[in-house]
Amino acid sequence: MNTERNKGRLAYMTEPGSLEIRDYDLPTDIEPGAALLEVLQTNVCGSEVHIFQGKHPLFRCGGLGHEMVGKVLALGEALSTDSAGTPVAVGDRVVPIYHAVCGHCENCVRGIPNACVLSYHHFAKTHLRPHFHGGTFATHYYLHADQPFFRVPENVSDAAASAANCALSQVLHGLDRANLTLGQTFVIQGAGGLGLSAAAVAKERGARVIVIDRVAERLQLAKAFGADHLVNFDQVTELADRVKLVQQIAGAEGADVVM
Ligand SMILES: [Zn+2]
Ligand SMILES: [Zn+2]
C-alpha cells in the first residue's frame, strides 16, 4: 500500500508478459453518477492469463483485472442508490459491472446491454485519467457513471462477491438463456472459474450436474460446488466412452444442456 493518502497504485502491463507498478494521484473530482472505490479483493480471471500471455484478440497493453469487490470512498453528485435502487453510502461494499453500458446503442436498445458497442470504453485504459478505471489490479477503482453496480449484502463475503461480476454473472446469464430447469442433465466441460460457478448455479436450479476435467483437484472443487458426477478425462480417454457415461446418467438422449 502507498503511504500517501492521496495516491494509489496499480499494475500496468506494458506488453504481454511484462508488468509495471505505477503510482498515480487519486481523482478528487468525482463526476456526477460516478464513485471512487477502494479495491478490497480482486481475482485473477482466466482472461487475465490470456491477456498476459498475449493471446487476447484486443489487448496488448494496459491495466489488468476486472473481477472485484470494492468499498465506496466517495460518491459523485446525484448518486445515492445502486443500479437496482438499493441505497448506497460511503463505506458500503459494491461490485461494478466491469464494462460500460451506454444505454443508447443498438445493442443496449435491443435489450442486450452485455453486448454494448461501447463496452470497452474504459477497459484497461489505466494510462489515461482518472487512471484507476478499467483495471482492478490496483488499490483503487473509479466507477464511471455508465457502469452499473450493486451493493453487496452484509452476509456475502468478499471472496464470494469478487467473482460475481464475471464468472458467476456469465453463467447465470448463460444458463438463463439455455433455460436450464429442474431435473435436466447438465454437462460442464472444464472446471475452471466459470465451470465451478456453473456447477453451483445449476445445482441451485435443480439440475443433475456432470463435470468433466482432467485435473483431480479441480474435480474435487467441482464436487464441493455441487457436481453430482465427475468424469476424469484422463481416466476415460475415448470420446465414445465419455458419451456412453453421460448416457448412463442422463438416459439415451444424453445431456439437456452442455457448457
Ligand atoms: Zn473474468
Ligand atoms: Zn450500448
- Written as nine digits, the cell of 18 is 511484462
Q: Which residue has the higher pLDDT, 184 or 3?
A: 184
Distance 99 CA to ligand 2 centre (A): 10
Q: What is the pLDDT of residue 188?
A: 98
What is the CA(134)–ligand 1 centre distance, in A? 13
pTM for the whole thing?
0.90
Q: How much distance in Å is there from the Cα of 116 to the middle of ligand 2?
A: 4
Please state which CATH class domain 168-258 belongs to: alpha beta
- Beta bridge partners, 71, equal 38, 93
The mean pLDDT of 237-252, rounded to a whole number, is 94
pLDDT tens digits for range 172-215: 999 999 999 999 999 999 999 999 999 999 999 999 999 999 99
- Predicted pLDDT at 1: 43
Distance 123 CA to ligand 1 centre (A): 12
Question: Which of the following CATH numbers is that of domain 7-162: 1.10.3720.10, 3.20.20.70, 3.90.180.10, 3.30.110.30?
Answer: 3.90.180.10
Task: Indicate if the pLDDT at residue 4 is higher than 70.
Answer: no
Which ligand is nearest to the Cα of residue 163, counting in written order?
1
- Which contacts qualify for 203-210: CB closer than 8 Å, 24 or more apart? 203/227, 203/228, 205/175, 205/180, 205/181, 206/181, 206/182, 207/180, 207/181, 207/182, 207/183, 207/256, 207/257, 208/183, 208/184, 208/249, 208/250, 210/185, 210/186, 210/246, 210/249, 210/250, 210/255
| Interval 13-37: pLDDT, tens | 999 999 999 999 999 999 999 999 9
Note the pLDDT tens digit of each residue in 126-138: 999 999 999 999 9
The CATH 3.40.50.720 domain(s) of the chain lie at 168-258
C-alpha grid cell, residue 22: 505505477
Asked whether residue 2 carries a pLDDT value surpassing 60, the answer given is no
- Distance from residue 28's CA to the centre of ligand 2 (Å): 27
For the chain, where do the domains classified as CATH 3.90.180.10 start and end?
A: 7-162
Query: What's the 220 CA to ligand 1 centre distance in angstroms?
Result: 22
Query: From the CA of 108, how far away is ligand 1's center (Å)?
Result: 21
CA of 146 to the centre of ligand 2 (A): 9
Distance 154 CA to ligand 2 centre (A): 31
β-pairing, 62-63 vs 35-42, is: unpaired
- What does the buried/exposed string (b/e) look like for 74-101 if buried means 16 or more CB atoms within 10 Å of the residue's CB? bbbeebeebeeeeebeeebbbbbbbbbb
CA of 116 to the centre of ligand 1 (A): 17
Ligand in closest contact with the CA of 112: 2
Ligand number, closest to the Cα atom of 167: 1
pLDDT tens, 110-154?
Answer: 999 989 999 999 999 999 999 999 999 999 999 999 999 999 999
Distance between Cα 1 and ligand 1 center (Å): 24
